[in-house]
């Protein structure tokens, strides 16, 4: 029996791009290929496109790309790639204006669903032109999957389409974060070097709020902060640490591989996600930290961030953009080892119950089945997932 072909559409793919959306696409493709035939259409990292496979048999079609203004690929070949994809169902990952416009222009009747990872927050001028197209695109979706209840409730873009929304939280393969001999050795080395350190891992972007975390370290005398990752804000953050005299206590590792990341997570005392803008829609790094038994300090954004980290249970929620609030939350945890252990264990249980890649895939498969049964109909896919 032929498996229905599911074509994921986004601007990039993992590997090589290691962002949260790219990794989510990879997990979904890998975990659904027993019942479906997954493939990916994305923009190439250069002007020459091509085809390749990932994870053995998942086909990736890379469309020639002629630049990425505002992080959006100029890739007119998406229209032809969608038409040639032989899709039974498209799975779009938003925001991705190039793919959305290509689907509208292709005039395909192939049904489609979308994971709504985030609103477009920063490019307000471009949004004025884009909003009518996005509305038309969303009207074509059989189902829309925001990643948290709170994001659905606070998104003006999603409000007119709420009846076709089904909340499907993201998840990770938690087994990737299990302790090994190597990660145990690394975590011991980190603790010996930095003591009870505060840790952050992720892309170094403006919306992550890291300047507030560096400022918060001032009052935490002797405490070390370790920042792993790379991105546009890296040099600015290093300069801030030098200017305020914290270069001896703020350490930048750059990009790290999986084993190194797990070693850093398992060696830390507290994990902090100090995001201060709505662009931080979910916060997968919190799940990584919770899986490794770390209490989390994160911020009260109108997104999925505080849904994952339960205030007073798995960590502490601080006001966004508030260095003093971060200092108080971190200081409370750093000063109470028993509280750290209790919250760390609660976080580990919560991640295992609610935020596995397997659970995410099961819920997405239900959406696929219902969307394929309806064909091109945009009537609501039944059921709304909730995370307690």
* pLDDT score of 380 more than 70: no
Question: Of 18 and 211, which is predicted with more confidence?
Answer: 211
Locate 6 and state its tokens: 């599911």
CB-CB contact of 88 with 372 (8 Å): yes
What's the CATH number for 5-171+356-374? 3.40.50.2000
Could you tell me what percent of the chain has a pLDDT over 90? 91
In this prediction, residue 121 carries a pLDDT of: 74
CB-CB contact of 180 with 370 (8 Å): no
Q: What is the pLDDT of residues 153-164, one digit of tens each?
A: 999 999 999 999
Place of tokens 């991105």: 231
In this prediction, residue 375 carries a pLDDT of: 80
Dump the DSSP string for 13-57: -TTT---HHHHHHHHHHHHHTTTSEEEEEEE-SSS--EEEEETTT
**Is 104 buried (19+), middle (13-18) or exposed (0-12) by CB count in 10 A?**
middle
In this prediction, residue 211 carries a pLDDT of: 98
Nearest to 195 by CA among 229, 228, 226, 238: 226
> Rounded to whole angstroms, what are the CA distances from 298 to 81, 206, 289, 340?
40, 16, 12, 15
In this prediction, residue 128 carries a pLDDT of: 74
Q: What is the pLDDT of residues 5-51, one digit of tens each?
A: 999 999 999 999 989 999 999 999 999 999 999 999 999 998 999 99
What ranges in the chain are assigned the alpha helix state H? Answer: 20-32, 78-83, 97-106, 124-140, 149-154, 181-194, 210-216, 234-243, 258-267, 284-291, 305-308, 323-334, 337-354, 357-374
> Rounded to whole angstroms, what are the CA distances from 162 to 145, 153, 199, 364?
10, 9, 37, 17
pLDDT class of 71 with cuts at 50, 70, 90: confident
CA distance 319 to 337: 23
pLDDT class of 383 with cuts at 50, 70, 90: low
Across 21-40, b (16+ Cβ under 10 Å) vs e yields: bbbbbbbbbbbbbeebbbbb
**Is 369 buried (19+), middle (13-18) or exposed (0-12) by CB count in 10 A?**
middle
Backbone angles phi, psi at 280, to 5 degrees: -80, 90
Q: What value does the mean pLDDT take over residues 275-282?
A: 96
* pLDDT score of 382 more than 90: no
Spell out the residues 6+ positions from residue 221 whose beta carbon is closer than 8 angstroms to its own: none
**Superfamily for 174-354?**
Glycogen Phosphorylase B; (3.40.50.2000)
* pLDDT score of 125 more than 90: no
Q: What is the pLDDT of residues 321-359, one digit of tens each?
A: 999 999 999 999 999 999 999 999 999 999 999 999 999
In this prediction, residue 70 carries a pLDDT of: 82
Instruction: Locate CATH 3.40.50.2000 in the chain.
Output: 5-171+356-374, 174-354
CB-CB contact of 52 with 60 (8 Å): yes
Let me know the angle formed at the C-alpha of 228 by 342 and 94, rounded to the nearest 5 degrees: 90
Q: What value does the mean pLDDT take over residues 95-114?
A: 97
Q: What value does the mean pLDDT take over residues 219-240?
A: 97
CB-CB contact of 89 with 111 (8 Å): yes
């Amino acid at each position: 029996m032929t498996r229905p072909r599911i074509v994921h559409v986004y601007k990039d793919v993992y590997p090589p791009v290691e962002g949260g959306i790219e990794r989510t696409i990879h997990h979904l493709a890998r975990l659904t290929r027993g019942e479906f035939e997954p493939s990916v259409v994305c923009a190439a990292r250069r002007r020459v496109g091509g085809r390749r496979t990932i994870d053995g048999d998942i086909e990736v079609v890379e469309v020639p790309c002629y630049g990425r203004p505002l992080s959006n690929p100029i890739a007119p070949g998406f229209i032809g790639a969608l038409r040639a994809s032989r899709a039974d169902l498209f799975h779009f990952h938003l925001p991705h204006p190039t793919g959305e416009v290509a689907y509208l222009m292709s005039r395909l009747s192939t049904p489609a669903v979308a994971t709504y990872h985030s609103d477009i927050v920063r490019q307000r001028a471009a949004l004025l032109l884009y909003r009518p197209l996005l509305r038309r695109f969303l009207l074509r979706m059989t189902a829309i999957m925001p990643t948290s209840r709170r994001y659905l409730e606070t998104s003006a873009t999603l409000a007119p389409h709420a009846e076709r929304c089904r909340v499907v939280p993201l998840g990770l393969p938690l087994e990737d974060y299990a302790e090994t001999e190597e990660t145990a050795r690394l975590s011991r080395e980190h603790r010996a070097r930095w003591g009870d350190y505060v840790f952050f891992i992720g892309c170094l972007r403006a919306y992550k709020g890291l300047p507030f975390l560096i400022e918060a370290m001032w009052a935490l005398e002797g405490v070390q902060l370790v920042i792993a990752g790379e991105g546009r804000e890296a040099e600015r953050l290093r300069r801030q640490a030098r200017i305020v005299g914290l270069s001896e206590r703020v350490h930048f590792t750059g990009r790290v591989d999986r084993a190194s990341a797990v070693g850093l997570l398992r060696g830390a005392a507290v994990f902090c996600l100090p995001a201060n803008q709505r662009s931080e829609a979910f916060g997968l790094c919190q799940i990584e930290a919770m899986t490794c038994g770390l209490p989390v300090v994160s911020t009260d954004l109108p997104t999925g961030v505080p849904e994952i980290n339960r205030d007073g249970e798995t960590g502490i929620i601080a006001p966004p953009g508030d260095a003093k609030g971060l200092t108080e939350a971190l200081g409370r945890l750093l000063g109470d080892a028993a509280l750290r252990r209790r919250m760390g264990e609660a976080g580990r249980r919560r991640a295992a119950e609610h935020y596995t890649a397997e659970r995410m895939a099961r819920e997405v498969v239900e959406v696929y089945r219902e969307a394929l049964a309806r064909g091109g109909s945009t009537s609501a896919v039944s059921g709304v997932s909730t995370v307690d």
